[in-house]
Structure 1
Amino acid sequence: MLPLPEIKDLVFLGIAGFTLVSAAIVSFSRSIVYSGFALLGSFAGAVGLFVLLSSDFVAATQLLIYVGGILVLILFAIMLTSKIGDVKLTNLSVNRKIGIPIITLFTLFLLSTLAKGTWLVVEKEEYRSMVKPIGDALLSKYLLPFEVVSIVLLGALVGAIVLIKREVK
C-alpha cells in the first residue's frame, strides 16, 4: 500500500497546479484582459510557493512589487489602451507545426532525465524568519545606499508626474 502524502505536499501540488493553469491562461487566452487577470493568479501562486518554502521576505517582496506594482501597471495599460479589440489575430500554424514536435521532444527529454535521476534527501533546517535581519542590515550597514535608492526612486516618480502633467495640457 502506498503511503499517504503529507498535507504540505498536497498544498504544494494545489498551489503549483493553480500557478500552471493561470500561466497557461496567460499564454493561450485570446483576450488580453483575461490574460492580464490570469497573470494575477500566476503571481499569487508564486507568492504561495514562496510562503510554502518559508521564504516570507521573498513572498512579501513578490506580492508588493509584482502584484501590487507591475500587475496594476499592466492592467491599467490594457484598460486605457483604446481599440485593443480591433487587433487582427494572425494564423501562426506554420510555427505550431514546428514548435509542437520540438516541445514534445524537450518534454520527453526532461521526463526521462527526471525518471533516471537520483534524488537526495535533504535534512530540513529549523525555520528562521529573515525579515528582521534584512531590516536590521538595511537600517544599519546599508543605510546610505538604501536612502540613495529611495531618493532616486522619488526623483523618478516626480519626473514621471511632471511628464504626465505636460502631456495632459
Structure 2
Amino acid sequence: MGEIVFIALAVGTTVGAGVVAFSKNIVYSAFALLLSFFCVAGLYVFLAADFVAATQVIVYIGGILVLILFGVMLTEKIEKVNISNQALKPFRAWILLIVSGGILIAAIVKTNWITKAPLPPTPTTGELGNAFLTRYLLPFEIASVLLLVALIGAIIAGRKEVRRK
C-alpha cells in the first residue's frame, strides 16, 4: 500500500512539474504547480516529516502560489507576444539530456545504498516549537520583527497617494 501511495505522489509531482514547464497557458501552469506542491507535501508526510509538509503547504501553496495567481489575474492581457526560445538548439538539448542522464544513472548505480531497517518515525513538530520558544527565542523574535517591518514597508510602497483638491 505504501509503495502505491509513493508512486502516486511521485507521478503527481512529475506530471505537475511537466505541465508547468510545457504548458502555454499560465493559468494551467499555476494550477499544475499547485498539484506538484501538494504532491511534494504528501511525500513529506509519507516520510514522517510533518512539520516540513505543513511548511510546504503554508509557504509554497499559501504564499508563493497565491502570489503567482494574483500576478496572473491582475496583469492586463498581453497580446501578440511572439514566444520563442532559442537558448538551446534541439541537438544541444539532446546532448545535454544524454550526458546529464548518464551522470544520474552512474550516480544511482555506484551509490552504496543503506539497507538497514529505518528508525521508527518520531514527531518533530513539538520539539521544534519547544526549541523556538525556549532556546531560539531571540532569533525567532528578531525574524518576526523583521518580517513585520518588511510587511509594513511593502504596504507603504504599494499604496497609492490620494490627492485632495
Does TM, scored on the shorter chain, surpass 0.5? yes
Question: Which residue identity is paired with 1:137?
Answer: A
Separation in structure 2 between the aligned mates of residue 151 and residue 59 of structure 1, nearest angstrom: 25
Separation in structure 2 between the aligned mates of residue 94 and residue 114 of structure 1, nearest angstrom: 27
- Structure 1 range deviating more: 32-41 or 131-140: 32-41
Question: Which residue identity is paired with 2:62?
Answer: G
CA shift in 2, pair 1:85/1:56, >3 Å: farther
Question: How much is the aligned-residue C-alpha RMSD, in angstroms?
Answer: 2.0
Who is 2:5 aligned against? 11
After TM superposition, the structure 1 = structure 2 runs for residues 85-164 of structure 1, keeping only pairs within 5 Å, are 85-90=79-84, 92=86, 95-115=89-109, 117-164=111-158
Name structure 2 gaps, 5 residues minimum: none
Looking at secondary structure, tell me which structure has more helix per residue: 1
Per-residue deviation, residues 97-134 of structure 1 (Å, max 9, x unmatched): 21023203322443354346543313211221000010
Who is 1:66 aligned against? 60
Who is 1:3 aligned against? none
Separation in structure 2 between the aligned mates of residue 72 and residue 168 of structure 1, nearest angstrom: 28
Separation in structure 2 between the aligned mates of residue 112 and residue 103 of structure 1, nearest angstrom: 14
Per-residue deviation, residues 119-162 of structure 1 (Å, max 9, x unmatched): 33132112210000100011111111111111111111111111
| TM-score, normalization by structure 2 | 0.88
| TM-score, normalization by structure 1 | 0.86
Name structure 1 gaps, 5 residues minimum: 1-6
Q: Percent identity?
A: 42
Separation in structure 2 between the aligned mates of residue 161 and residue 87 of structure 1, nearest angstrom: 32
Separation in structure 2 between the aligned mates of residue 85 and residue 104 of structure 1, nearest angstrom: 37
Separation in structure 1 between the aligned mates of residue 89 and residue 54 of structure 2, nearest angstrom: 39
